[in-house]
Structure 1
């Protein structure tokens, strides 16, 4: 096991980058809002393991330094990192310079003795480049004053691919076993683990491995929260050319069966789908050509690449006591501006079973409550709130449709709302102006005449 440590102590006073000063001075409110919005993701992923895989193409494109800075930020936020790099273009270049022919079959390199030596040299060079990037500690960058420990080791036992349909793959190998205990110990120590696409047999024979297979196996055995592939492709594209930001695994497998994807995208999507099927929470395909893509994918709602999950992460579910704090955060701004009736924590806790929440990737971004009067076959939808960042995307409509479906399932024939600010929104969705006398008597008795809310009713 080898170790590379950058242990430079931070100075007593670190000069802030000019860009940071510009952001804070130009729009302090925007900066504060952004920081608060990112906080739930930081909390959710602290202590979780991410496996990040990238090919030699990323290194060749000069994107390594910016990636390492982003990874250093993730490490500083408490995210545990395992990096798996590839080296195909570097191996190809060395073989070309030496005048050695290359052979591929079924997408795998046939690794003869000469190709294996080139693979070792290429892996060694990239390994040193990555360690050097982690050791920079450049002023005015996220690496300033950092302390990042990078560890490598012989965690992988490999076996030969063998002979398939008469083709002897020689020193091309497959992962036989990963030393999970040793790997987890290093990850738990807070060090960044760096793995090259090489494995060794119990007899000491070296094998050239596919980076994608190695990363998938590592993510599975570590039960990683995320497996992230940084690729030359933008992700899976829809028919209109836009990136499909989220795919359920079954949908990913359906796409693969249709064989309509380009070869590179299909290859990465196949490994991402396999990882999720075997227990990895989420697998991502991100373009390394977009600076900061890994940060944008992790810390924004929609991300910038394609994420594969066992089931889609958009979820509408009944609230629990654990959701009370998030509900209060959603509705408090609307209470303050008079859109919603003020409710205290006690009221939310008392009625929490009446609330439904909209959740994405563990973040609650919307809520609504449903109060039923069974004898009148009526129900009230109240406390409809959607976080500002999710407004305009149809999330309010999703909550409304869900509440309507729950009301119908309970035998309700009419759904009503009381509102002072959003009359037109409800009218556009089939609600009609009504009077206080049209409401259940119990609701009439508790009506707040000081607010003078308008009554709207929709037949279900």
Structure 2
């Protein structure tokens, strides 16, 4: 059992390590709705945030309290009122909001203070700092409706938050703001989290929500054939949002998507929608390649580019398992270092997930595409096609008429993409001299 555990844990931990390095010293703003706390998820989320902070991430946690305020209002025999999707905060609702915020702040601080042995919090020391970091202004009167004590963010105390983060503290922000005259305003968690992320120039804004993410076809219910769209370019997110009816209901996709789009437009590189119903959703979204929810990005994070000498170690690590099982011909480090400029790679967050090399034979107006490799973690995501398109582009720029491959295992993949089987005698003379007749690789050619 121990051996099996080692074989599963060690490769997993190694796959996570690049993300630990990348996110160290970065700033994440986490939007935690009151619904997640009401569903009993606070302690597990606090454990995960403590682990993420322990790995060097600076965290600002903005909590909501929508159901808790409604509960306080019901206890007072008072019904909540809304207009334009915003709570009308009268004096009773303001008292209820203050009571709910005080209770939740106590519960959140308690969750980060637990240090029980044999739990993920054992040995952790999470200092939580909260304060009057938000200056607010009133919503005012809209279409004849007086929103009273409901407000909007006017200014974020970036210097104050940053000083707290520099002290290695977790910053906790309630959806309250104060005017310069000391008047309190009830704000929405989503607007506060988005405004804070933009003001801090945060690296991530993450909403841990009731919504599982953006469906690849949002007009149909979720199913195994209609999974979550794990990465959505900002331009596509804008188009999708424009087709959706305006929503202020936290159970609707558009509710969180509008804030994610606003954050990315404001300079936040990545904004996420993940489900609080899934245990460990934060860890899965941050430290696993495809995540579990939807990430909206200003541009595709996956970059296809030509390799440099600095990429050699990553290429070797990628192709080694395929050399061991005989899928690829073994290449030593010296050869790859010498030919680094021949390689094209697919890189995601600083990690190489695919590669292919181009070896031209100008005298025959053709080139070999060699070492085409895609990590098992991203197979089926189109990385192979991206590499093929880039290799074809490079071959065309060289004025070549075709590309060819030698393979023993992946013939059908190439046949589906327009390659034709030919006899090994077709190979350019220089390549034919290096052909391994014992390996009996099949030769496939594609005209450009």
TM-score (norm 2): 0.91
Q: How many residues align?
A: 438
**Residues 309-328 of structure 1 mapped to structure 2, 5 A cutoff:** 309-328=297-316
Which residue does the alignment assign to 1:151? 129
SS at structure 1 position matched to 2:127: strand
2:285 is equivalent to residue 297 of structure 1: yes
Which residue does the alignment assign to 1:81? 59
**Residues 130-149 of structure 1 mapped to structure 2, 5 A cutoff:** 130-149=108-127
The verdict on how the C-alpha distance between 1:163 and 1:348 changes in structure 2, with shifts beyond 3 A counting, is same
* RMSD between aligned residues: 2.2
Moved more, 40-49 or 268-277: 40-49
Q: 2:216 aligns with which of 238, 250, 268?
A: 238
Which residue does the alignment assign to 2:376? 388
Q: Supply the distance in 2 between the matched residues of 1:187 and 1:349 (Cα, whole angstroms).
A: 42
Q: Deviations over 1:264-296 (max 9, x none)?
A: 321110000110111111111111111111111
Stretches of 4+ moved more than 6 A in 1? none
The verdict on how the C-alpha distance between 1:114 and 1:271 changes in structure 2, with shifts beyond 3 A counting, is same
Q: Supply the distance in 1 between the matched residues of 2:74 and 2:195 (Cα, whole angstroms).
A: 31
Moved more, 400-409 or 221-230: 400-409
Which residue does the alignment assign to 1:415? 403
The verdict on how the C-alpha distance between 1:151 and 1:413 changes in structure 2, with shifts beyond 3 A counting, is same
Which residue does the alignment assign to 1:219? 197
Moved more, 258-267 or 58-67: 258-267
Q: Supply the distance in 1 between the matched residues of 2:24 and 2:117 (Cα, whole angstroms).
A: 26
Q: Deviations over 1:313-355 (max 9, x none)?
A: 3332222333222111112223334433333333323322221
2:384 is equivalent to residue 399 of structure 1: no
Q: 1:268 aligns with which of 253, 256, 273?
A: 256
The verdict on how the C-alpha distance between 1:260 and 1:369 changes in structure 2, with shifts beyond 3 A counting, is farther
**Residues 442-457 of structure 1 mapped to structure 2, 5 A cutoff:** 442-447=430-435, 453-457=441-445
**Residues 116-195 of structure 1 mapped to structure 2, 5 A cutoff:** 116-195=94-173
Which residue does the alignment assign to 1:17? none
Q: Supply the distance in 1 between the matched residues of 2:302 and 2:322 (Cα, whole angstroms).
A: 23
Q: Per-residue deviation at 1:427?
A: 4.1
Q: Deviations over 1:119-147 (max 9, x none)?
A: 11111110010000011112222101211
Q: Per-residue deviation at 1:394?
A: 4.4
Which residue does the alignment assign to 1:67? 45
SS at structure 2 position matched to 1:301: coil
Q: Per-residue deviation at 1:301?
A: 2.0
Moved more, 223-232 or 260-269: 260-269
2:440 is equivalent to residue 440 of structure 1: no
Q: Supply the distance in 2 between the matched residues of 1:398 and 1:245 (Cα, whole angstroms).
A: 18
Moved more, 55-64 or 424-433: 424-433
Moved more, 336-345 or 174-183: 336-345
Alpha-carbon contact 2:22-2:349 (below 8 Å) kept: no
Q: Deviations over 1:138-183 (max 9, x none)?
A: 2222101211111112111111122222222111111111111121
Alpha-carbon contact 2:420-2:446 (below 8 Å) kept: yes
Q: Supply the distance in 1 between the matched residues of 2:9 and 2:176 (Cα, whole angstroms).
A: 44
Q: 2:238 aligns with which of 253, 256, 260?
A: 253
Q: Supply the distance in 2 between the matched residues of 1:70 and 1:261 (Cα, whole angstroms).
A: 33
Q: Per-residue deviation at 1:31?
A: 1.6
Q: Supply the distance in 2 between the matched residues of 1:261 and 1:456 (Cα, whole angstroms).
A: 52
Q: 1:345 aligns with which of 306, 325, 333?
A: 333
Q: Per-residue deviation at 1:92?
A: 1.1
Q: Supply the distance in 2 between the matched residues of 1:160 and 1:330 (Cα, whole angstroms).
A: 55
Q: Supply the distance in 1 between the matched residues of 2:309 and 2:4 (Cα, whole angstroms).
A: 40
Q: Supply the distance in 2 between the matched residues of 1:163 and 1:173 (Cα, whole angstroms).
A: 11
